[in-house]
Amino acid sequence: MYPSSRASRVLIAASTPVAIIAAAAMVWQSSNAAFTGSTRNSGNNWAAGSVALSDDDAGSARFQVENLVPGQTESKCLKVTANASVPGTVKGYAVNPAPSVHGLENRIKITIEGGAGGGFSSCDGFVSEETIIAGVTLGQMAAIDTYEEAIGGWQVETGTSSRTYRLTWTFDTTGMTQNQIDQLQGDRTGIDMQWELRSS
């Protein structure tokens, strides 16, 4: 049985406000979802500064001396390059000392100068700017084995910079008797010089 024409009109009239209210609610919800706001502080990061030190020896020893005799002397250079994003200080100290049997390390005296020019292949063009140590024996140098006790004090700024070190050694037998000198025959000693850069 179908509703009368009057009943249909009443049903339509009654349902219309409900439809309008439902539609209005949907519009309000849609509008509410659209009104948002946010802000972001992007790209935050923290990077530590860096320091790097290298030299031009290509992995070779600076001195390899055989058959040395009393009074012999020699000078060679080493160019050290710093690459740093923060300031720092370069100092030198001894590592890997190799004491001899008869005290040869106490008769090899070294002088170290800092300056510019020259390099591992040749000291040609080297200009001394300071004498870092003078007449120190290898035995004494071996006791300077930490950065805190190290010699020098090259102040490095940010960026890339270089400094050349000239090392001069002398086999000094001054004050020794002939017998004492003869005891050094065939004796052997060694030491490594390490240059270290630390940030300020």
Are the C-beta atoms of residues 183 and 107 closer than 8 Å to each other? Answer: no
Which domains, and CATH codes, for the chain?
A: 51-61+70-199 (2.60.40)
- 181, pLDDT greater than 70: yes
Rounded-to-integer distance, Cα 111 and Cα 75, Å: 9
37-79 per-position pLDDT tens digit: 454 655 665 655 556 777 787 766 667 778 888 998 989 899 9
| Token pair listed for 100 | 């001899």
Residues 6+ apart with CB under 8 A from 96: 190, 191, 192
Ranges of H-type helices in the chain = 5-34, 138-142, 178-183
Residue 18 has pLDDT above 60, yes or no: no
Q: pTM score, two decimals?
A: 0.75
Structural tokens at position 184? 């050094």
**pLDDT at 49 (0 to 100):** 56
Rounded to whole angstroms, the Cα distance separating 78 from 74 reads 14
Q: What is the torsional sign of CA 141, 150, 117, 60?
A: positive
Which residue, among 193, 169, 199, 166, has the nearest Cα to 95 in the 3D structure? 193
Q: What's the CA gap between 196 and 103, in Å, rounded?
A: 28
d(CA 115, CA 94): 20
